[in-house]
Amino acid sequence: MNDCSSGKCGLTYEQRRILHEKGTERAFTSPLNDEKRQGVFHCAGCGEQLFSSEHKYDSGSGWPSFYAPINEKALGEDTDYDIGYARTEIHCAKCGGHMGHVFPDGPKPTGLRYCINGAALNFTPKTG
């Protein structure tokens, strides 16, 4: 992972807190929670494509939610016990930046809910 302590990485304090320290943004604070355009969501840390609008849905949680990543290799998983029980932490497979968690209460066809910090993503709307 890049060392952004110098502040030269171009990330905000909030983005570094999430990506590098596994922080969580407050619910309903990310503009991407309400983003409904077609397009691709990139890792804010390294630019890798992680999620597509195709798989985005409104979970009501206040965090951008997807039922699948953009491809099978985009994300890495870890188990964390930060709040007392096991959760599956997900991060960018390329740079290691923390994205959020995945829960088994999502919609069909996967039944998964990728609960993502909007500040960990950059959205590129589809053109044309």
Known catalytic residues?
Answer: 115
Considering only residues 13 to 52 of the shown chain, the ones binding Fe ion according to CB under 5 A are: 43, 45-46, 48
Number of residues that bind Fe ion (CB under 5 A): 8
Q: Which is nearer to Fe ion, 28 or 120 (CB)?
A: 120
Q: Which residue has the tokens 């985009």?
A: 74
Please return the burial class of 13, using the count of CB atoms within 10 Å of its CB with bins 0-12, 13-18 and 19+: exposed
DSSP type of residue 43: E
Site for Fe ion in 59-88 (CB under 5 A): none
Does 93 interact with Fe ion (rule: CB under 5 A)?
Answer: no
> Is 4 one of the binding residues for Fe ion (CB under 5 A)?
no
- Which range of residues in 6-14, 66-74, 76-84, 97-105 is near Fe ion by CB under 5 A? 97-105
38 — phi, psi (to 5°)?
Answer: -75, 140
Q: Got the DSSP string for 101-124?
A: EEES---TTTT-EEEE-GGGEEEE
Q: Per CB under 5 A, which region of 52-60, 62-70, 89-97, 110-118 contacts Fe ion?
A: 89-97
CA trace torsion 125, 51, 100, 5 (10° rounding): -60
Query: By CB under 5 A, is residue 95 in contact with Fe ion?
Result: yes
Q: Cβ closer to Fe ion: 5 or 128?
A: 5
For tokens 């923390």, the residue is 98
Q: Which residues here bind Fe ion, judged by CB under 5 A?
A: 43, 45-46, 48, 92, 94-95, 97
